Amino acid sequence: MYRHFGRYIFLFLKINKMKKLNIQILFLLAATLVSCVDSPEDQTKPEVSNDRKEMLTFWVDEMILPSYVTFEKDLLALKISAGEFTNNPTEASLSTVRTSWVQAYISWQNVEMYEVGPAEKYTLRSFFNIYPADVSGIENNISSGNANLNLPSTYAQQGFPALDFLLNGVAEQEEKILAFYLDTEKGAQRLSYLTILVSRMDTLLNQVISDWNGSAKADFINRTGLDIGSSTASVVNAYVLYYERHVRSGKFGIPSGATIASAGTPNPEKVEAYYKKDISGKLAKTAQKAFSDFFNGIANGKQGLSLKSYLNSIEAKDPSTGKLLSAYINEQLSIIDTLVASLSDDYYDQIETDNGAMVKVYQEMQKAVRILKVDMTSAMSITITYTDNDGD
């Protein structure tokens, strides 16, 4: 057993020498590190923190809940104007409800990405914004008068897209739309469906908000890990999923035909707000801005803890270029901002006249998705758990 010992001892001594050398290098390194840490870097970035509990608190208190409160206000205005229109359908009350629908739809773009916690529990997005609207389904529901709107098959028969059809799409001119509701035979049923849709949205949103104000908030703030089910991981998953499926594919890829599944054939009738048409660009711009503000922690003019500050605090940067990952992400987001800003507000028209610009947005968004989905999750040790889109 001890015969080979001599040889081993020799090897061991060699290693031991190496070890001494290593320790010296280690001390040198530690010394340089300490001097680095005290450099002015810290003073320029006061918002840097890797405390996830603080970040989660800022998210829920300054971003998620205030956005819901604003949206609730706009949805309430829609509910009131829809009520007035139902009681007294005139050109004026129709115009008011159409305007408040636009305002609420824009406001919705600021909350759609927060499909975590209560919103995820009630699958808010599925009931609010699945388009294109299912017109024949809507017509069936109006005549039957007793549709079960909780079923997944009815997603496209309710929410903003269904209201888009009811307020803007049932006829060409405003007088004819009004006539649709003044119809002696079916008018009452039509108005009743409109009311059902709006109050259903109101009920669902109130559930989400009251859950957040109940135990959901504390629960959210206290799940500080990064494993599956933790709040940060859930938010990142919801955030990236939203951008990939509902912004990249939903607003641009599918209508422009840029996704491989649509094989280059544009589907302009699949744009968001297809019947209103001239607000699809405004909706997308709002969504894009909300998305990028969330990344940077910008809420009501103030800046707080965010994915950006977290990535900076853990020094997520490319070791070959030394460039911060958050800079890569913001660079890509601003390329997209510029492209989106140059589009027409009417995406239907945009696709008919210059679809290439829509396809270009899709491609740049695809680059952003990859940076977020691969580089950001890798840097944060988060696992993407949602499954890839099968429908686009």
Partner 1 sequence: MFGILMLSSMLRFWYKGWIYQLYIEPKHHFSFYGFEWVKPLGPYTYLLFSIAILSALFICIGLFYRLASIGFFLSFTYIELMDKTTYLNHYYFITLLSFLLIFLPANAYFSVDAWRKPRLNSDKIPSWCTDSIKLMVIILYFYAGLAKLNSDWLLLALPMKIWLPAKNDIPFIGELFSEKWVAYLFSWIGCIYDLSIGFLLLFKPSRILAYLSVVIFHLLTSLLFPIGMFPYIMIGTALIFFSTEFHQAVIQKIGAILNVSHSFLTPGGRCHFSKISQNLATGGLILFFSFQLLFPLRYLLYPGELFWTEEGYRFSWRVMLMEKMGAVTFILKDELGKIIEVDNKQFLTPQQEKMMATQPDMILEYAHILKDHYEKAGFKNPEIYADSYVSLNGRIGKALIDPSVDLAKEKESFRHKQWILNFQDEIKGF
Identify which range of 146-154, 200-208, 287-295, 382-390 contacts partner 1 by CB under 8 A: 382-390
202 burial level (CB within 10 Å; 0-12, 13-18, 19+): middle
Q: Is 375 among the residues that bind partner 1 (CB under 8 A)? A: yes
Least gap, CB of 380 to partner 1 (angstroms)? 7
Residue 299's SS3 state is strand
1 burial level (CB within 10 Å; 0-12, 13-18, 19+): exposed
> What's phi and psi for 298, nearest 5 deg?
-95, 120
Least gap, CB of 1 to partner 1 (angstroms)? 3
334 burial level (CB within 10 Å; 0-12, 13-18, 19+): exposed
- Considering only residues 220 through 249, tell me which ones interact with partner 1, judged by CB under 8 A: 224-226
Written as one string, the DSSP assignment of 65-108 is HHHHHHHHHHHHHHHHHHHHHHHS--HHHHHHHHHHHHHHHHHH
Identify which range of 153-161, 187-195, 218-226, 334-342 contacts partner 1 by CB under 8 A: 218-226
Which of 182, 183, 162 is CA-nearest to residue 275? 162
Check: CB of residue 392 under 8 Å from CB of residue 366: no
Closer to partner 1 at the Cβ: 301 or 322?
322
CA dihedral 272, 276, 282, 284 (to 10 degrees): 0
Of the candidate residues 240, 283, 316, 359, the single one contacting partner 1 (CB under 8 A):
316
- Considering only residues 162 through 181, tell me which ones interact with partner 1, judged by CB under 8 A: none
Q: Is 16 among the residues that bind partner 1 (CB under 8 A)? A: yes
Identify which range of 51-59, 86-94, 186-194, 273-281 contacts partner 1 by CB under 8 A: 51-59
Q: Is 302 among the residues that bind partner 1 (CB under 8 A)? A: no
Q: Is 379 among the residues that bind partner 1 (CB under 8 A)? A: yes
Least gap, CB of 174 to partner 1 (angstroms)? 43
- Considering only residues 334 through 373, tell me which ones interact with partner 1, judged by CB under 8 A: 370-371, 373
Which residues does 33 contact at the CB level (< 8 Å), separation at least 6?
none
Q: Is the bond into 66 cis (omega within 30 degrees of 0)?
A: no
Q: Can you give the binding site for partner 1, defined by CB under 8 A? A: 1-5, 8-9, 11-12, 15-16, 18-19, 22-23, 26, 29-30, 33-34, 37, 50-53, 224-226, 259-261, 263, 313-321, 323, 325, 328, 370-371, 373-375, 377-381, 385, 387-388, 390
